[in-house]
Amino acid sequence: MSRIASILLPLPLSEAFDYSEPEGMDLHVGDQVAAPLGSRLVHGVVAALRDADGGNRPLKPVDARIDAPPLPPNALEFIQWAARYAVSDPGQPLAMALRGARAPKAKPAKVIEITGLTPAKLTAARAQVLAVAPQGFASSADLARAAGVSPGVIKGLIEEGVLALRLIEADPRFPEPDLALAGPELNVSQAAAATELKTMMAAGGFNVALLDGITGSGKTEVYLEAVHAALAADPDAQVLVLLPEIALTQAVIARFEARFAAAPGEWHSDIAPPQRRKVWDGVATGLCRIVVGARSALFLPFRKLTLVIVDEEHDTSYKQEDGFIYQARDLAVARAKIEAASVILASATPSLESLRNAETGRYRWLRLTARHGVARLPDIQLVDMRASPPASGFWLSPPLVEALKATYAAGEQSLLFLNRRGYAPLVLCKACGERMTAPDTDSWLVEHRYSGRLVCHLTGFSMPKPAACPHCGALDSLVSIGPGVERVEEEAKALFPEARIAVFSSDTLWDAREARNLIAAMEEGQLDILVATQAAAKGHNFPNLTLVGVVDADLGLRGGDLRAAERTYQLLAQATGRAGRKDRPGRALLQTYAPEHAVMQALQAQDRDAFTTAELHERDMAGLPPFGRLAALIISGPDPMALEAFVQILAQAAPNADGVQVYGPADAPLGLVRGRRRKRFLVRADRTVDLSAYLAAWRARARPPAAIRLAIDVDPYSFL
């Protein structure tokens, strides 16, 4: 009997399409296939197979099975689960899952080899060629150059069959982790945590542990022991380690290489396509046992995933905000559940969601208290900017300047932290008051002095800084308002003309290598002052750093979104945690206009539990995450009238459900982006409500017209 194959395509389609299975193709669920769609062939995956019942309308046949590893059933289940959760078409997560499968394979390497045939005539030139050929050359020209002969000599030897060009396929294998190597000696606190993780993993099945340890407490050593246990327990076991930033991968990969004498598979957007294909195939075939990567590594086709580690689990970079909108930490837990695997969430400042799960016993809570080695926590001092203001037009207060002087004089390093890129966050005309914005967009243009341009960080628009105000035409009337990292660097250079000062920010570093070089220079003590955005607050270890100055500690609190206080606390705790990591005491100065704020008080007292308790209480009272659930609907379109009409239809269509409140429609805080007006609904639901099902039902009742886009963001992190 013939069969029908349901094929999932990586396209915005709400369901799988049916095709007939050609005679003898013998498809299996998970197989990668080419299937006709309209006039073209599309690369898809077999989601289901069933017997044809005879009465069906004729179906197009599957064109071919693609010679590539199939998607394992768990990976397929995860993709479908993720789509339902995010209220998205399954094609979106499938496209992410197939990104590596469609990358080109590495080209086979060429090498000219000696075949063993004896040349008819052995001239001096030929002898010279045969002497150097074993070194391995990829072309006749290279070999001729190395032998100091003309290319004709090589040609002759190839024609005689003495030399031959051979193609060597790229090796699909990965180095096998050496499990016999001993790990580093753990302190009491680390050893206890490692033992509990091993106990949890030995029990088998789905389990989550929160590895909660202050900065410098040695979390990585602990989870490396868990990785060792997972690999040792099962020769087929695979481990996934997620990191929030590409900049952190090299450091973590080096730790794995040191521990297991084998480099893990690396996965993020900077990986070259052939390498990406190798990792994808290796994960699907089981040859690659450890993957270290960014959030999209979650969609790799693991065959036997037994341990997932989410490092810096609180980091908001785990939230993908465009395309397929998802929170990688939450999806990592979901994937582990499907795989019946263990999860380790590691952080010095865990998210309130994870802390709540730990408090209620859903997650095991492993607290590392001892700081590794002899390092001590820094002293944290609040600088009240109302009492000690900087001079007009400057941003560093007298107490911070004094601390910088003392640190520089002692030959130690300082980090000035400001989470704002560029030179100035706002440019306005002092003649007419015009604020410079991107075309058809509400967000301000940020001045960048390095590039001499005004840049919109939201849309990417940029323009040279004009000589005259585009609004009133006044010359030299544009003034820069407020500080960015480039401006703080300028001030630091004026204060310390002899000091070695650099900026660490995504605009001033061209690529990951440049970022690594700057981090290395800081580690090796080649810099005195580093001015940095949040990128440098994460995970790096600067042994000679003893002072952290936070230029604007209030910055995050002004955002006005749900997680503003939490994020500010995490960021500042990470930034101040950088100081004094080896044997030197460190200190941190936080410039603030609100020293009485709960976040500032908790930071100064280094009392995370007090902060967590207060913040969780407020969330509980409001029914907000982690006590309730949130989703945002962003509706955008070029025509205000049509947008308003659809938004009203959508408002009418909202289903009534117990435990669900719908707020809006309202103008989104950024009401105009790239000429599209934006409206927003916020949905709050009790934890017991199936929020995804509610949103899917709502959307099904009001499909937007062509020019209007409706984006659903489950568990929003950005409130723009």
User: Which residues here bind Zn ion, judged by CB under 5 A?
Assistant: 429, 431-432, 434, 469, 471-472, 474
CB of 467 to Zn ion, least distance (A): 12
| 437 vs 601, beta carbon nearer Zn ion | 437
The least CB distance from residue 425 to Zn ion, in Å, is 19
- In contact, 718 and 680? CB cutoff 8 Å: no
**CB of 438 vs Zn ion, minimal distance in Å:** 17
CB of 430 to Zn ion, least distance (A): 8
Pick the closer one to Zn ion by CB: 449 or 471.
Answer: 471
Residue with smaller CB distance to Zn ion, 429 or 657 = 429
User: Token digits for 556?
Assistant: 């995050």
Choice between 475 and 649, CB closer to Zn ion: 475
- Secondary structure (3-state) at 442: coil
Give the start-end residues of each E strand in 277-392: 290-293, 305-311, 319-320, 326-327, 342-347, 364-368, 379-384
Instruction: Find out whether 109 and 153 touch, Cβ atoms under 8 Å.
Output: no
The residue (of 230 and 427) whose beta carbon lies closer to Zn ion is 427
Distances (CA, A) of 354 to 189, 313, 316, 493, 657: 21, 9, 13, 42, 28
CB of 476 to Zn ion, least distance (A): 11
For residue 427, the minimal CB distance to Zn ion (Å) is: 11
Gap between the Cα atoms of 248 and 269, Å rounded: 13
Angle between helices 608-622 and 352-359 (to 10 degrees): 90
37 residue type, one letter: L
Q: Pick the closer one to Zn ion by CB: 376 or 471.
A: 471
Return the bridge partners of 415, or none. Answer: 530, 548
Any bridge partners for residue 319, and if so which?
Answer: 327
Residue 492 and residue 396 in contact, taking contact as beta carbons nearer than 8 Å = yes
Q: State the residue for tokens 């604007």.
A: 552
Question: Considering beta carbons, is residue 103 or 478 the nearer one to Zn ion?
Answer: 478
Rank residues 73 and 433 by Cβ distance to Zn ion and give the closer one.
Answer: 433
Provide the minimum distance between the beta carbon of 645 and Zn ion in the complex, in angstroms, as a whole number: 37
Smallest separation, CB 474 to Zn ion (Å): 5
How far apart are CB 7 and Zn ion at their closest, in Å?
A: 59
Backbone torsions φ then ψ of 611, nearest 5 degrees: -65, -45
DSSP, collapsed to helix, strand or coil, labels residue 545 as: strand
Tell me whether residue 472 or residue 479 sits nearer to Zn ion (CB atom): 472
Contact 426, 454 (CB under 8 A): no
Query: DSSP 3-state helix, strand, coil percentages of the chain (rounded to 5)?
Result: 35, 25, 40
Query: Minimum distance from CB of 483 to Zn ion (Å)?
Result: 22
| Full DSSP string of 660-710 | EEEEEEEEEEEEEETTEEEEEEEEEEETTS-HHHHHHHHHHH-PPPTT-EE
- Residue pair 138/77 in contact (Cβ under 8 Å)? The answer is no
Residue closer to Zn ion by CB (options 476, 620) is: 476
